[in-house]
Chains A and B, each alone.
Chain A
Amino acid sequence: MREIFILTRASLINNFNLHSLNPANFNQYRNMKEARKVLLFIFVVVALMPAYVLYIRLMRQIGFSFLMINQESYFMALAHYASVMMVFFLGLTYVLSYYYFSRDTDMLIPLPVKGRSIIISKFISLLVFEYFVLGIFIIPAIIINHSLVGGGLVYYLKAMLVFLLTPVVPLSLASVIIITIMKFTNIKGKKDLIRVVSMFLFLFVFLGLQIVIQRAMMNIPFGNEQEFFSKLFTDNRYMIDMLGRFYPLSKWAALGLADNSMAALTGLVGLLLTSIVFFTAVVLFSEKMYLGGIIGGNETQSKKKALSKEEFVKASGKVSSSFMAIFRVDLITLIKTPIYMFNCVSIVVLVPFIFLVMPALTGVSSDMDVFIGIYESNVKLFAFGLAGAYMLFAALNPTASTTFSREGKTFYITRIIPVAAKDHIVGRALAPVLMQIFTIIVVSFGIRFYIPLDLSTMVISAFLGFAASLPVILSGILIDISRPLLDWDNPQRAVKQNMNVIIAMAIGAIMALAIGFLTYLMININLATLIILLIDLIIIVALIYVVYNLLTRRITYQLANME
């Protein structure tokens, strides 16, 4: 017990940088820095506030529409289920990096501590991290649900229990899946590649399964609509029961919070027992599979074979310019580091997948009719709206805003090489720019399956969206060079626990909002499309110019002056 406590504490301190929060570590100089950090934090919160308010309002809307159809208990079940999904997906990458790519494991294994303690402490650390993220999303739902189902202090006590238990099962599942994948892909040779491919395969299969489940759940047999609606009104647990058939825990959580009946109690007890069973199972499972899997798991293929003269001349490459050399190293590292691949590149694959393939599979064609309606009644707005969406995709991608942070301890190389700021910028912008081009192409063509976009809309949105992504990408790099996160021993820190990602997102969102608002005004006063496009482009070029120059100065300064 003590052992688990010590290990957990150490890993929490190590991972969340808690030492910096200790007042004993403050002094005059640091206070300045801390104050700046706090200001920055406030800025990010304020910038992201509109989105959060929107989220809460949407949740309320959904909550009240369930109330209207007499299915208010379904609201909490749905919110719970969505949270579980989120924890699960986040969990996959956290487990991957924290169990396998964090150096503290190598340090722990030689210590005289029980393997079980290591596993439990790791699991708890991840749970704590999930609570932070989960809190942001589920606490509004809990409060809204309170306004739907009522209840006094007891409600919040129960809600607390539900909150604490929510991530246990999905995180256990994520652990088991990752450990299994890692165990069976611990193959000599192209291990990283095999792993990345199998994770993607798993994700696709999982998403596909989700789709099938949702379809089955929501499938109302043709001609039976009448019956469905009458059921809705007579049986206020009709929808929650449907969900409960696939994921009973969400049903239990929602029922547990709905009232103080016997059903509520059984629900909570069920939730508690299941969580305990899963937790125990994952500990036993990891003891068998995990520790065995990481010892010696770092082996990398090495052929130890000299190249022949021709091979050698060929491998010693052709001469390329500095920015190409930087781009190449950046790209190789992105692709060969599973964590980076997952966090930076996967978005490019998953976003189009979710937006384009999901609707097709789920068959929500009625939603599409709405979009087609919007499109046909306002072609102009649609083109600019799509461009704005591309801009937001660029803001969501952490590749630019972690480009220096990802180098970690090897960042000194960037500082000693004789490379001009211009080459640094181009070399680092290339990877995110290419990803952006890829996303735009896929979405542009994919969207035509649903909405009969005309060519001009496609071209305008793609071109404008691409141009508008450039200042977003450049400001991502600007943020990262201003405050790179280099002192990590787990690549996860560089991309997932990096404030720069969120700051860059906020800045990108502000840019998109500002340009979008202006464009909206121009459309409203009925300016010609070409004129609007021209004005937008002028603004974007000006923005690129400003950010680029700032970036040049910042890079030159930082590379010379950092400590």
Chain B
Amino acid sequence: MLKIENLSKSYSKGTTKAVDNISFEVKPGEIYGFLGPNGAGKTTTIKMIVGLLKQDSGVILVDGIDIGKDSLKAKLKMGYVPDNPQIYDKLRGLEYLNFMADVYRVSKEDRTQRIEKYLKLFSLEDAANDLINSYSHGMKQKIVLTGALINDPDLFVLDEPMVGLDPKSAFNIKEVMREMCDRGKSVFFSTHVLEVAEKICDRISIINNGQIIAQGTMTELRAKAGREESLEKIFLEVTQ
């Protein structure tokens, strides 16, 4: 569903190499976790996938479509939740969701049904008709989540989705991810929360200084480490 080949990106005219020749693939029906310390290059990678940054070299394929070549088609298949939920403050929650549904060309029945489902799931029904300006940080995050899910994306991309959410909402996101995968869709997300990654990810990449230093299923990572270890131990070992 998502295929990354030899992706590189540097900032400040080549002085900082934020992402250095990474490759991986997220298959349909898979939850893929992207781990790494601060400044490792996670956000940079994600921004390239959703089209907010242009890579210096390498290819990004979303369901076989090159994001650099046919970006509209690729974007239609994606949903993106940024690490910082900044959205149109002057709109009501529902107005924002309708905007997203319109630009992603979602039919009336589908949007009504999905909006209802996710607002309920994230306990946002009461706030849906209020101005986003009046939302708390977590509420904004949840409305962005709902907006990103409105087109029922084939590839769901999230940057640190658990930060700032209450336990119930964090749990709900995990449920949503699971359920999407059961329907053959793919989820790609970055996180610092190792237990989450350990529990729900089918496969994991650990990135450090722009390079992928370990990847595979939990079992494969453990096998590599040679011991029966928690992800935390493995993480600390490989990223030091």
Contacts and interface: CB of A to CB of B under 8 A. Distances in A.
A59 to B, nearest CB: 42
A297 to B, nearest CB: 13
B99 A325 contact: yes
Nearest to A337: B90
Interface stretch (B81-89, B187-195, B207-215): B81-89
A307 B72 CA distance: 34
A182 to B, nearest CB: 17
Interface in A286-306: 299-306
B129 A417 contact: no
A417 B75 contact: yes
Contacts of A333: 88, 90-91
Interface string A99-136: 00000000000000000000000000000000000000
Contacts of A416: 50-52, 75, 78, 80
A315 B94 contact: yes
Interface stretch (B25-33, B110-118, B166-174, B232-240): B110-118
Nearest to B113: A316
A347 B82 CA distance: 37
Nearest to B72: A418
A418 B129 contact: no
Interface in B5-57: 12-13, 50-54
Contact of A315 (B99, B101, B129): B129
Contacts of B91: 329, 332-333
Contacts of B90: 332-333, 336-337
Interface string A323-340: 011101100110011000
Interface residues of B, number: 48
A184 interface: no
A328 B99 CA distance: 8
A230 interface: no
A560 interface: yes
A431 to B, nearest CB: 14
B128 to A, nearest CB: 7
Contacts, number: 116
Given A304-B130, A305-B126, A319-B108, A412 B52 contact: yes
A420 B72 contact: yes
A25 interface: no
A419 B99 CA distance: 12
A61 interface: no
B98 interface: yes
B71 A326 contact: no
Contacts of A37: none
B155 to A, nearest CB: 13
Contacts of A561: 54
A317 B129 contact: no
Given A306-B125, A332-B90, A337-B90, A325 B98 contact: yes
B97 interface: yes
Contact of B103 (A29, A315, A322): A322
A301 B127 CA distance: 11
A417 B103 contact: yes
A412 B147 CA distance: 14
B134 interface: yes
A417 B75 CA distance: 7
Contacts of A455: none
Contacts of B82: 412
A316 B129 contact: no
A14 interface: no
Contact of A563 (B53, B104, B106): B53
Contact of A325 (B68, B102, B126, B129): B102
B218 interface: no
Nearest to A313: B112
Nearest to B76: A418
Nearest to A427: B103
Nearest to A324: B102
Contacts of B53: 563
Contacts of B115: 316
A302 B130 contact: yes
A300 B75 contact: no
Interface in A380-426: 409-410, 412-413, 415-420
Contacts of B125: 306-307
Nearest to A328: B99
Nearest to A303: B130
B116 A312 contact: yes
B126 A301 contact: no
Contacts of A300: 130-131, 133-134
B198 interface: no
Contacts of A325: 98-99, 102-103
Contacts of A313: 112
A321 interface: yes
B111 A316 contact: yes
Nearest to B74: A418
A320 interface: yes
A418 B103 contact: yes
B87 A301 contact: no
Given A329-B91, A410-B87, A416-B75, A301 B130 contact: yes
5 contacts: A304-B127, A304-B130, A329-B88, A412-B52, A417-B75
Given A416-B80, A418-B104, A559-B51, 12 more contacts: A312-B116, A316-B98, A316-B115, A319-B101, A324-B102, A325-B99, A329-B88, A410-B86, A412-B86, A415-B51, A418-B71, A563-B53
Q: List 6 tightest A-B contacts by C-beta distance, closest first.
A: A325-B102, A418-B75, A302-B134, A302-B130, A336-B90, A300-B134
Interface of B: 12-13, 50-54, 68, 71-73, 75-76, 78, 80, 82, 86-88, 90-91, 94-95, 97-108, 111-112, 115-116, 125-131, 133-134
